[in-house]
Every structure is written in C-alpha cells, then in structure tokens.
C-alpha cells in the first residue's frame, strides 16, 4: 500500500510539472507608453520609468516591436493600475476596472511626488518588466 501511494505521488508530481512547464507565460514583450513614446528610458534590465507630476497624454500598455533604431507600439493590451505610496510602500488599487488607455493626468491626480504608478497586465502572456513608473 505504501509503495502504491509513493507511485501515485510520483505520477501526480510528474503530471503537475508537465502542466506547469507546458504553459506559455510571458511570450510577448510589452511596455508602457505615454502618447506614442515609451515611458522606460531604455528597454534593458536596468531601464527606469519616470514621469513628472505635470505629465499629460494617454497612458497605454502595448506589445512592442523592438529594434536598434526604434521601439514601436503594436497592440494595446488591458492593464490595471495601482499606486505605491512613497512613505509606506503600500500598494493601493487606482480602480477596480481594467484599462486599455487612460489620461495620465487622472492617475497623477491621486499621486504625490515620490509615489509610483504600478501597471499590472491582465494576461500572463504579456511580460511587462518596466511596470513601475516613478512620479517626480
């Protein structure tokens, strides 16, 4: 009986690992855009995102076509927004809805200098490595 349980456990673990490894998470690169300009200063692991408190324009998250000469927005994807408080580092949802675009002025009206706007993709197929935008 003990051998049967061990065999079933091994089989269940193997099945679970196959299911997990078979998922296609983060297969598309995406980035935040303000108007038609990517928010991140460079699409690298050390890239930084920031906007002034006076920024205006449509905030979107798009799949991107990256090349050496340009970073072009392709398709808008749904995203949620949270705001990270500068002092406590607490995340608060901006709204319960998902967006495809939103005037950044509306989001900034809830922010103070030093806070961060955190963008959350609604689908795990989209990688959004630069998801936190510092408000300066």
Q: State the pTM of this model.
A: 0.79
Domain assignment of residue 7, yes or no: no
Q: Let me know if residue 18 belongs to a domain.
A: no
Q: Confirm whether 120 is domain-assigned.
A: yes
Tally the domains of the chain. Answer: 1
Output the CA–CA distances (angstroms, integers) from residue 6 to 16, 19, 52, in the order listed: 15, 20, 59
pLDDT digits (tens, 9 = 90+) for 60-72: 999 998 887 777 8
Domain assignment present for 9: no
DSSP state of 107: H
Looking at the predicted structure, is the pLDDT value of residue 16 above 50?
no
61: containing domain:
25-135
Q: Let me know if residue 77 belongs to a domain.
A: yes
């Amino acid at each position: 009986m003990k051998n049967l349980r061990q065999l079933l456990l091994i089989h269940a673990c193997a099945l679970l690992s196959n299911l997990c490894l078979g998922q296609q998470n983060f297969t598309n690169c995406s980035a935040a855009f303000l108007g038609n300009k990517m928010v991140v200063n460079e699409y690298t692991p050390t890239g930084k995102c920031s906007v002034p408190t006076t920024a205006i324009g449509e905030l979107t998250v798009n799949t991107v076509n990256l090349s050496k000469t340009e970073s072009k927005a392709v398709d808008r994807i749904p995203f949620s927004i949270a705001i990270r408080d500068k002092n406590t580092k607490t995340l608060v949802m901006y709204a319960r809805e998902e967006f495809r675009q939103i005037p950044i002025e509306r989001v900034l009206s809830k922010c103070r200098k030093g806070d961060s706007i955190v963008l959350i993709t609604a689908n795990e197929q989209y990688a959004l490595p630069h998801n936190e935008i510092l408000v300066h």
